[in-house]
Amino acid sequence: MAEDEAPKPEAPAPAGTLRARPGTVRPPMPAGPVRPDAPPPTRPRRPRLERGEGAPAPEPLHRTTAVGGGSSRLSPALTVVVAAVRKAGKALLKDFGEVENLQVSMKGPGDFVSQADLKAEKTLRAELARARPNFGFLMEESGLSGNEDWEYRWVVDPLDGTTNFLHGIPHWAISVAVEKRGNDRTPDEVVAGVIYNPAADELFWAEKGGGAFLNDRRLRVSGRRQMIDALFATGIPFASVPRKAEFSSILARLMPQVSGVRRFGAAALDLAWVAAGRYDGFWELGLNKWDIGAGLLMVKEAGGFVSDPEGGDAWTDGHVVAGNPILQPQLRAVVSEGIAAVAAARGRTGA
């Protein structure tokens, strides 16, 4: 071709052939003539495996499964507790649906124990003892039992909110805490706990250093900072329960400062709801260890503060003030002031 002669355009490729992009190497074509109606060559695909024929399941975003199926976050001890409370909760739900047929007796004026309490406690004790035979027990209905030289023990309320239960109010719970025995240098402490409301199928659980959860959702206490915006919970002394004057004194001082005060009748759930941010704080005096064991840990693991009215250990004396880090000190000051006012009045009257 002469130097000034323009290059001839490339002839169009026959139908059914592949043109290589500039700068690429064309793959070898099959030998022999290519029929015009032949389909273009295609890249071989891997065989597709259907689920159940060897195909791996998609990788989950989080390796944690539902608590009901055994969350990977749960320690072996908590896994045992979850299974036990769900079994007891199933029976309690059945009794709740037939509450008018339950046999009921009185522990004291205004304080009931039902056949459902006793059956639930029996179920919990059997399940927990089978899994951890060396643990001790502190249970609401049967008291102390099990290994007297325990390093760990179960602290169990089989039915917190019995009065609600017997009146058909679906606000009651099973509470189980794991208490570790202290020594000369460290006090006894709760290291794990579960609070289960079968009527709502809400399972609250916590482990020391591992956070607090509602089912598989991480819990945090509320972020409210002003008392006037706060909603608090408490327990009202009934019948022969003491400290009615203290309660009235505290409530009279608190009500003008806050958005509201609730009394739902189940201390374990009150504390769980503080951990969940539903309540901004909670106070009650004279509670038992089975009422508060799991709940105190839950509030702490959700970022809250827990103490008695003077800033001491609520686990030791059963006087509880719990809340978020901003409002708990303010609530504690009001509770302490109300108690002190009653003590001063008694001192003046000699009562």
Which residues carry a binding-site annotation?
140, 157, 159-160, 291
Distance CA 122, CA 124 (A): 6
Q: How many residues does the chain have?
A: 351
Distance CA 349, CA 331 (A): 28
Tokens read off for 188: 């006894």
Per DSSP, what are the bridge partners of residue 145?
137
> CB atoms < 10 A from the CB of 343, how many?
13
Residues marked as binding for Mg(2+)? 140, 157, 159-160, 291
Angle between helices 244-254 and 328-349 (to 10 degrees): 130
> Residues 301, 208: contact at Cβ < 8 Å?
yes
Burial class (CB in 10 A: 0-12, 13-18, 19+), 185: exposed
Q: Which residue has the tokens 């089989």?
A: 158
